[in-house]
Amino acid sequence: MTEKEKCRLGLLYDANYDTEILADREKAKELLYDYNRLRPSQQTEKAELLKLLLGKTGDSLIIEPPFACDYGYNIEVGENFYANVNLVILDGAKVCIGDNAFIAPNVGIYTAGHPLDVEQRNRGLEYARPVTIGHNVWIGAGVSVLPGVTIGDNAVIGAGSVVTKDIPSNVLAVGNPCRVIKEIKQGESGCQ
What is the domain range of residue 22? 3-183
Q: What is the pLDDT of residue 142?
A: 98
Q: What is the pLDDT of residue 190?
A: 59
Q: What is the pLDDT of residue 30?
A: 98
Catalytic residue list contains 114: yes
List 8, 94, 114, 179, catalytic entry: 114
Q: Is residue 172 part of a domain?
A: yes
Question: How many domains is the chain built from?
Answer: 1
CATH of the domain at 174: 2.160.10.10
- pTM score of the predicted model: 0.94
8 Å CB contact between 159 and 190: no
Banded model confidence at residue 185, pLDDT cuts 50, 70, 90: confident
Tens digit of pLDDT for each residue in 46-104? 999 999 999 999 999 999 999 999 999 999 999 999 999 999 999 999 999 999 999 99
Straight-line distance from the first to the last Cα atom of the chain, in angstroms, rounded to the nearest whole number: 56
